[in-house]
Chain A
Amino acid sequence: MTLMKTLLGAAATLALTAGIAAAEPAIIYDLGGKFDKSFNEAAFNGAEKWAKETGGTYKELEMQSEAQREQALRRLAESGANPIVMTGFAFGDTLNTVAPDFPDTKFAIIDMVVDQPNVKSVVFTEDQGSYLVGMMAGLATKTGTVGFIGGMDIPLIRRFGCGYAQGVLAAKPDAKIVLNMTGTTPAAWNDPVKGAELAKGQKAQGADVIYAAAGGTGVGVLQAAADEGILSIGVDSNQNGMHPGSVLTSMMKRVDVAVYNAFTEGTDLKPGVTVLDLAADGVGYAMDENNASLVTPEMQAAVDAAAAKIKSGELKVHDYMSDNTCPAATF
């Protein structure tokens, strides 16, 4: 027994010193799950890239329920992880209360602005990226009707939808846009069955291009679109390869870059707000061999021209979150 105690004590000391010697970065994935093929998976890819390049290790935690947030965050902070990166707006309130308790730990949050001296907030201009894929949808539609399926009904997702609608109307002014949200709870990020039914419903309303900004729910949307023989648009990660020939393009949101940068900066993470926009390659649209046959050179040229205008500031995409209204669509 005494021996056991000594051993345990030694092990604990070792673990503690190891923790101090090299503070491991940590990442917390939100409820969609680490392998949602979308938002959280992009974050995972960024962390993996960092691990591969530096040979370092990192801690990770996957949220299972809403109630775990604060507990998970505190436990990681107490374990000495630094910096701690979390994906998703839903961490905003929790981080606001937890961050002041750990002044020596650096935090980074993606998709939300948290005003604390030890927090770096990374936000993307999803409206710009969605505008580009919206233009592509407007150019690709044959029926003149396109669809949008959001995950949880929050301002951030409306920003996707609003940018998309503006893009569609820019390419095809008389287009009809069908908007649906999957739900109003975080479960809406992981409900592919409902996503598929929504997609079938939109197809019945005439939509032949559907943009899914819905995390894991999007898997069902893309599947249904492939089954029904219509086009879909992926989100966050490059989802073109999930159903080659059916996914028109993907709105890339470089969550991986944000995570990679935060890990690389390590304990020297600069607090403040970082906006990753089109000019900074934070958002964009995905082209690869899987969708090459779907996108004509004219479409690509039109979209690239719009992208250049947005970058130069000549074209302004209305941001839903700036005033909670959208000129192109009603939610």
Chain B
Amino acid sequence: MDYATLLQILDSTLRLGTPLLFACLAGLFSERAGIFDIGLEGKMLMAAMCSGAVAFLTGSVWLGLLAAIAGSMVFAALHGVASITFRGNQLISGVALNFLASGITVLVAQRLFGQGGRTPPLEGAARFNEITLPFAEALRPVPILGPLYAEVISGHALLVYVAILSVPVTWWVLYRTRFGLRLRAVGENPAAVDTAGVSVKGLRFAAVAITGLLCGLAGAYMATALQAGFGREMTAGRGYIALAALIFAKWRPWQALGACMLFGFFQALALRPDVVTAVVQVKIPVPFLDALPYILTVLVLAGFVGRAIPPRAGGEPYVKER
């Protein structure tokens, strides 16, 4: 494998890893606050449809982005009401929302545009176009680092950089702010937080809202940057891979970046079976490469690669008094 091919795969990795990263951080906020969220997939799908539809109708990608966040937030609020207010089973609520999203997105898109649940292709200002970072062309002649900067780091949609920046921001919020401390505490021991006079429900709703926001960005990225429009089931299981990445990262932000980029790298590799064959000298079936993220996650859960311990109060609704 030559350097140019490696750069191309890394470039692809960054594009494919971005929706995973958004969704993974979304799950991180929610699960750190003690709310399991299987519904990342549904929220992304909803956001993708909203952004595709609104961006097409208004011609503005920014309005599309707002619509994506709004659509995803509605689903997040539903999940919050079901699992926080009414103390329902979080897994069931998440699965139900996934089914709902899978159906309603196609239904709405079909009613609006009549193109089989697809939104019409977006053009120009209705999409996040690729941004060339400063000096990308000027630095290209620099050996090794120049092409890396020009090919891999430069030339992505704005949301890719937003995703990368979300990682330090998430770290800072979780570990360096009072809100973050309480958020983590509410996922470990909500009774203690309650005793301190802080609202458990309020914190958990805030966490779920952040999840909605980040899933909105993930969906908008899928529909307006990676693709030009929404298509039926376009998230294709990325919400679940993001959950796997979250476990792989043991619920920590920097590790989440690593896990998502690793899984993105596997997806990018699966697109280039010729390269894989050339490197390992054995023909590896593409489905195996597709399955790698899941295999790794199972290994982590089985305790082969360190131990993954979820937040202690995760999945349990908080009851103030018994």
Contacts and interface: CB of A to CB of B under 8 A. Distances in A.
Interface of A: 33-36, 180-181, 183-184, 187, 190-194, 196-198, 200-201, 204-205, 216, 219-220, 223, 227, 242-243
Contact of B231 (A187, A192, A201): A192
Q: 8 shortest A-B CB distances, which residue pairs? A: A35-B116, A204-B8, A223-B228, A35-B115, A33-B116, A197-B271, A34-B116, A201-B271
A194 B289 CA distance: 14
Given A193-B227, A205-B8, 6 more contacts: A35-B117, A190-B231, A196-B226, A198-B271, A219-B121, A219-B231
A226 to B, nearest CB: 9
Contacts of B268: 197
24 contacts: A34-B116, A35-B116, A180-B271, A181-B286, A184-B286, A192-B227, A193-B222, A193-B234, A194-B236, A196-B226, A196-B227, A197-B12, A197-B15, A197-B16, A200-B12, A201-B8, A201-B272, A204-B5, A216-B231, A219-B231, A220-B227, A223-B227, A223-B228, A242-B121
A34 B118 CA distance: 11
B233 interface: yes
Contacts of B4: 204
B276 to A, nearest CB: 12
Contacts of B12: 197, 200-201
Nearest to B272: A201
B232 A190 contact: yes
Interface string B74-118: 000000000000000000000000000000000000000001111
B287 interface: yes
Given A36-B116, A204-B4, A194 B231 contact: no
Interface of B: 4-5, 8, 11-12, 15-16, 115-118, 121, 222, 226-228, 231-234, 236, 268, 271-273, 286-287
Given A197-B12, A197-B271, A192 B234 contact: yes
A261 to B, nearest CB: 24
A223 B16 CA distance: 17
Judged by DSSP, the binding face of A is helix
Contacts of A227: 228
B288 to A, nearest CB: 11
B116 A193 contact: no
A39 to B, nearest CB: 13
Contacts of B117: 33, 35
Contacts of A243: 121
Contacts of B16: 197
Nearest to B273: A180
A150 B258 CA distance: 32
Contacts of B233: 190
A193 B271 contact: no
Contacts of B272: 201
A220 B234 CA distance: 11
